[in-house]
Amino acid sequence: MADFLVSLFNSGRQVNTIRGYRSAVASIHEGFEAGRTVSSDRSLDLLIRAMALKRPRIRTLAPPWDMKAVLEALSRPPFEPLSQCSLFELSIKTAFLLAAASARRRSALHALSILPGHMRMEPHGVRLVPDASFLAKNQTVDFLPAPIFLASIDSFSSIREDKVWCPVRALRY
The answer to whether residue 1 scores a pLDDT higher than 80 is yes
Question: pLDDT digits over 40-49, tens only?
Answer: 889 999 999 9
Cα–Cα dist 108/170, whole Å? 19
With contact defined as beta carbons under 8 Å apart, do 171 and 126 qualify? Answer: yes
- Predicted confidence at residue 73, as pLDDT, reads 96
pLDDT tier for residue 142 given thresholds of 50, 70 and 90: confident
Which residue, among 48, 42, 41, has the nearest Cα to 18 in the 3D structure? 48
- CB-CB contact of 78 with 85 (8 Å): yes
Whole-angstrom distance, CA of residue 161 vs CA of residue 18: 53
**What does the domain layout of the chain look like in residue ranges?**
2-54, 67-172
Q: For residue 64, what pLDDT is reported? A: 84
* Integer Cα distance of 169 and 81 in angstroms: 12
Q: What 8-state DSSP symbol labels residue 58?
A: P
Q: What's this model's pTM, rounded to 2 decimal places?
A: 0.63
Number of Cβ within a 10 Å radius of residue 116? 7
What is the average pLDDT across 152-159?
A: 88
